[in-house]
């Protein structure tokens, strides 16, 4: 290889500081919008750290940085799950009063047993569709279909 060609190749490979300066701003803005300002900066740092470990084989740095940052956010959420405060998310929510609760109970009891079982596990048992599928020996798609059908029937029965 000619010395000139080697210099041209080296000129095309930007140092890590250059990539950081070039991509930090837009990446931080994106992550702040998506995950909030409390974790945006940490995710930027994690994305660039992982990018350095990946080496110079990155063809599309923007897409790669976004993908790496989102993976880092998901991993952090799995490692440190945050409890959800329903009252903060839904301040206007009030549990049904005695009459509404009794009416809802009657509607749920009128559901066919297969639908009722899946609906109760989902809405009041706190189980995911996958967990319900394992517990009831059903496919996840079947669980989703039963939940949808139960909702439709509940809505129709509540209107009556």
Q: Where are the domains of the chain?
A: 13-79, 87-159
Per-residue pLDDT tens digits for 100-131 = 778 888 888 999 999 999 998 888 777 889 88
Q: How does the average pLDDT of the chain come out, rounded? A: 78
Q: Is this model's pTM higher than 0.75 or not? A: no
Q: Which residue has the higher pLDDT, 3 or 43?
A: 43
Per-residue pLDDT reduced to its tens digit, 43-66: 899 888 888 887 767 778 888 888
Rounded CA-CA distance 46/52 in Å is 10
Closest CA to 72 of 40, 36, 30, 24: 40
Contacts of 118 (CB under 8 A, 6+ apart): 132, 136, 138, 143, 146, 147, 150
Residues contacting 4, CB < 8 A, separation 6+: none
Which pLDDT tens digit goes with each residue over 63-113? 888 888 888 888 877 777 665 454 554 455 455 667 777 888 888 899 999
Q: Which fold has domain 87-159?
A: Arc Repressor Mutant, subunit A (1.10.10)
Q: Confidence band (pLDDT; 50, 70, 90) for 153?
A: very high
pLDDT value at residue 111? 92
- What integer pLDDT is reported at residue 56 of this predicted model? 66
**Section 124-144 average pLDDT:** 87
């Amino acid at each position: 290889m000619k010395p000139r060609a080697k210099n041209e190749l080296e000129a095309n490979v930007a140092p890590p500081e250059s990539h950081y300066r070039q991509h930090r701003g837009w990446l931080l803005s994106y992550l702040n919008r998506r995950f909030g300002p409390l974790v945006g900066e940490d995710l930027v740092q994690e994305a660039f750290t992982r990018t350095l470990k990946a080496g110079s084989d990155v063809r599309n740095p923007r897409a790669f940085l976004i993908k790496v940052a989102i993976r880092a956010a998901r991993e952090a959420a799995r490692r440190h799950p945050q409890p959800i405060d329903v009252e903060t998310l839904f301040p206007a929510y009030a549990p049904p009063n005695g009459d509404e609760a009794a009416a809802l109970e009657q509607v749920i009891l009128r559901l066919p047993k297969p639908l009722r079982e899946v609906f109760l596990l989902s809405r009041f048992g706190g189980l995911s569709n996958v967990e319900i599928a394992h517990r009831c020996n059903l496919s996840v798609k079947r669980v989703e279909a039963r939940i949808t059908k139960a909702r439709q029937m509940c809505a129709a029965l509540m209107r009556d």
